[in-house]
């Protein structure tokens, strides 16, 4: 069965999408997916899949578990889609939100699953080291535009870390600066200002200590030019070469995730069908707040894979 996917994007979620039970239906029903989980367990030298399927939620939420779990689930879903459809479904474009960019790069053929896992593990290690050296946090501002958010950042010493939608913006900084930012956001009419349960100020200058370690790790990984166009987080534009991708991954640690602009770029190229490949529906919800016109479908478990195939 041939699938017309000339205007289709696969998008991959990042940290925060993890939950107990993720990937279990894939493991039970798809040989290709099972191979992915077994390979990830072997690389890690521990049974991450068991933690994902029926473990402790707090343990799964730890960065060193959550990040490889999210990567493994997205890649297992992709491999299950390939296995289940009569023809390999190759989207016209891919993108990933923060950590999800590593899933997108794997699907685009930039590096192997094994190398993706190794790189994500090193990313976890380096980010935790940066959090220990430069403690901080993040706050979600709901109902304020980018200009107002930037004013709050300038007045509080924080930074814009992620722009999910025109009115959903994540800022980060040290704890004292964030406390000031919370007060300013309330005073300037934010519908909500929510402190996030994260280990540090991701995608801000406080992550700068992580850059050298990640750069060293990338030099030990075999990269290839992407086989599918991929939209980068930092500039919300296509990444075409290995050099551009390496620079993107390094810069992504300390730069704002331009998700709103990334989605807008894809829509402007004619994309009208988006498929979220990963556990949960976080990106699907964000997509509807950016623009309600495209079709957005969550592929989160084996039933979703079968629906996609038919």
Instruction: Write the pLDDT tens digit of every residue in 151-186.
Output: 999 999 999 999 999 999 999 999 999 999 999 999
Report the predicted TM-score, pTM, of the whole model to 2 decimal places. Answer: 0.94
CA–CA separation, 263 vs 259, rounded Å?
6
Q: Residue ranges per domain, the chain?
A: 8-132+205-309, 135-195
Q: Is residue 27 over pLDDT 60? A: yes
Sheet holding 137-142, edge to edge: 159-165, 168-173, 137-142, 192-195
DSSP letter string over 173-192? E-HHHHHHHHHHHHHTT-SE
User: CB of 154 within 8 A of CB of 146?
Assistant: no
CA–CA separation, 265 vs 86, rounded Å?
30
Residue of 30, 203, 204, 262 marked catalytic: 203
Q: Is 203 a catalytic residue?
A: yes
Options 3.90.1150.10, 3.40.366.10, 3.50.50.60, 3.50.7.10; which CATH number does 8-132+205-309 get?
3.40.366.10
User: CB of 267 within 8 A of CB of 296?
Assistant: no
Q: Is 98 a catalytic residue?
A: yes
Instruction: Write the pLDDT tens digit of every residue in 70-85.
Output: 999 999 999 999 998 8
Residue of 25, 98, 204, 262 marked catalytic: 98
Domain 135-195 sits in which CATH superfamily? Malonyl-CoA ACP transacylase, ACP-binding (3.30.70.250)
Give me the pLDDT at residue 293, please. Answer: 85
Q: What is the DSSP letter of 199?
A: S
Instruction: Write the pLDDT tens digit of every residue in 216-238.
Output: 999 999 999 999 999 999 999 99
């Amino acid at each position: 069965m041939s699938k017309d996917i000339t205007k289709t994007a696969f998008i991959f979620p990042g940290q925060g999408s993890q939950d107990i039970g993720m990937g279990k239906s894939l493991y039970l029903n798809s040989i290709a997916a099972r191979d992915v989980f077994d390979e990830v367990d072997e690389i890690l030298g521990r049974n991450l899949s068991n933690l994902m399927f029926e473990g402790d939620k707090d343990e799964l939420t730890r960065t060193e578990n959550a990040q490889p779990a999210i990567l493994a689930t997205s890649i297992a879903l992709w491999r299950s889609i390939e296995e289940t459809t009569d023809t390999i479904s190759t989207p016209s474009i891919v993108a990933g939100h923060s950590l999800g960019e590593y899933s997108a790069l794997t699907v685009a053929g930039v590096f192997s699953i094994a190398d993706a896992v190794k790189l994500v593990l090193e990313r976890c290690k380096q980010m935790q080291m940066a959090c220990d050296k430069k403690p901080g946090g993040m706050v979600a501002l709901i109902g304020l535009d980018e200009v107002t958010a930037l004013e709050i950042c300038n007045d509080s010493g924080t930074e814009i870390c992620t722009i999910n939608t025109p009115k959903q913006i994540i800022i980060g900084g040290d704890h004292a600066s964030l406390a000031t930012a919370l007060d300013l956001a309330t005073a300037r009419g934010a519908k909500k200002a929510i402190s996030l349960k994260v280990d540090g100020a991701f995608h801000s200058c406080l992550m700068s200590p992580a850059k050298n370690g990640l750069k060293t790790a990338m030099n030990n990984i075999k990269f290839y030019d992407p086989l599918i166009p991929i939209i980068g987080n930092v500039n919300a534009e296509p990444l075409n070469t290995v050099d551009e991708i390496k620079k993107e991954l390094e810069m992504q640690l300390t730069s704002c995730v331009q998700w709103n602009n990334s989605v807008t770029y894809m829509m402007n190229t004619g994309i009208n069908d988006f498929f979220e490949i990963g556990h949960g529906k976080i990106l699907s919800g964000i997509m509807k707040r950016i623009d309600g016109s495209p079709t957005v479908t969550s592929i989160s478990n084996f039933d979703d894979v079968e629906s996609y195939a038919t």
